Amino acid sequence: MMRTSLRRLAIMLWLAPGLALAANIPSTIRDDARQLRQRALTESNAYAIVESLVLEAGPRLAGSKGDEAAVAWALLKLEELGFENVRAEDVEVPHWERGETRVEITAPFPHRLVATALGGSFGTDADGIEAPVLMVTNIAELEELPRSRVEGTIVFFNDRMEPTRDASSYSRVVRNRAYGPSAAARLGAVAAITRSAGTSSDRIAHTGSLRYADDAPRIPAAAISNPDANLLERQIQMADVVTLSLSMTSRHLEPRRSANVIGELRGTDAADEIVLIGAHLDSWDLGQGAVDDGSGVAIAIEAVRQIREAGLRPRRTIRVVLYANEEFGVSGGKAYAEKYSDQVAQHVIGLEADLGPGKVWRFDVRVAAKALPLVEEMHKLIEPLGIARGNNEAYGGADLVAMRDLGMPVLGPRQDASLYFEVHHTVNDTLDKISREGLDQNVATYAVLTYIAAAIEQDFGRLPPPNSE
């Protein structure tokens, strides 16, 4: 009899964590979440939303006419879909024009290369630049060289990016694009070119922003396609000296006004508490901005629309933010954090969609330890979508960083990036690259997570900035 009792006690203790887990989300909310998950998979309107954005606004470089059109589109779309408190909050954004870029190998074997200016690059003068090429893999390799090797050259950063589901290879190579031009300029280089930070083998160049340092000359910088990078690399391996000519008409103009566009599903008894979900409204100018980040815009809008259409009215307010100018300085995310810095405590948690329409494959978070049991139960409700549990070190997304660093927890659904960098920041970022199945799985994931976060009584805690931990 005693042995049986002890066995029963042991079983109860073993089950206790699970019993505690189940208590975090009331059964009614769990049932609503399951129904919402299915509804979002079968009745999603996400593709129609991204199609509308692409057709009606087109490419949306910060400060451009397309950017203006996108803000107007977003205001009308959120009103049309029944969002509340729809508004535009002004954001100052840079105004830069790409112009024309021409890159040629002039010796030993002349070739015209497919190239594009890096975002924010200054142009050359009318005569352009012609200089020998210095090839390095990355900034670290460059900085080991004496100034005499670098001075007067065009530095070629030649680090190859491999396809990865978690985008980890992009995190490595993008440093060359962002910081390489200034590193080269400090050592006397006259220009910089980078192998495209992308995985496409098509003859297309991937743009993206650079970050000029205050302590270095601002030299022109461009990206060349991966096939052309291969060609240039081979010539450098064959010849003692390879020379390159570079001509760019990029220019900076006076900053302009854009806006974060906001719409809400107002909460009930805890309406002053905010669950933040967003994506960036802007795009680069080369393609249509369908994948980056039209897909994220559609996911964020449709996830909340699905909650509303299901007749669910959670306790907390769900706020959709379509951010201005993520690509070219994260202006919208920074402006939002500045405006609402005195309301950070009211922001219960944030989510962002900005890695294309690839299916969510892992669920990362960044929450206080006390909320981890809740997170585990939330994961159980999205696990049927093929999503594994991740870690408590979520990045959150570029537009959430400023709020995250003020203490706001984040949920970080990880989208599959295996194909994302085939089209990212290129002319091939077009509507036909959108996977409806992937888009709808994202909608279901974000809808469930957003609804639960807004419906439950428990919060996710507060966290110190990552660099203080």
- Name the residues annotated as catalytic: 326
413 with 449: CB under 8 angstroms?
yes
> What tokens does 411 get?
């949920």
Burial of 308 (0-12, 13-18, 19+ CB in 10 A): middle
Q: Which parts of 46-131 fold into alpha helices (H)?
A: 46-57, 65-80
Any idea how long the chain is?
Answer: 469
- Cα–Cα distances (Å) from 323 to 96, 174, 274, 437, in that order, read 18, 22, 17, 25
Burial 382-401 (b: 16+ CB within 10 A, else e): beebebeebebebbbbbbbb
Q: Is 260 helix (H, G, I), strand (E, B) or coil?
A: strand
247 with 102: CB under 8 angstroms?
yes
Q: How many whole angstroms separate alpha carbon 341 and alpha carbon 220?
A: 37
Place of tokens 């160049």: 205
Beta strands (DSSP E) in 208-324 are: 221-224, 243-248, 251-265, 270-280, 316-323
Write phi, then psi, for 189 (nearest 5 degrees).
-65, 150
What does the DSSP 8-state code read for residue 237? H
Query: Which residues are registered as beta bridge partners of 154?
Result: 133, 191
Give the CA angle between residues 351, 85, 269 to the nearest 5°. 75
Nearest to 256 by CA among 68, 58, 118, 72: 68
Query: Which residues are registered as beta bridge partners of 87?
Result: 262
Nearest to 365 by CA among 380, 375, 374: 375
Q: How many whole angstroms separate alpha carbon 429 and alpha carbon 432?
A: 9
- Containing 112, the helix (H) or strand (E) segment is strand 111-113
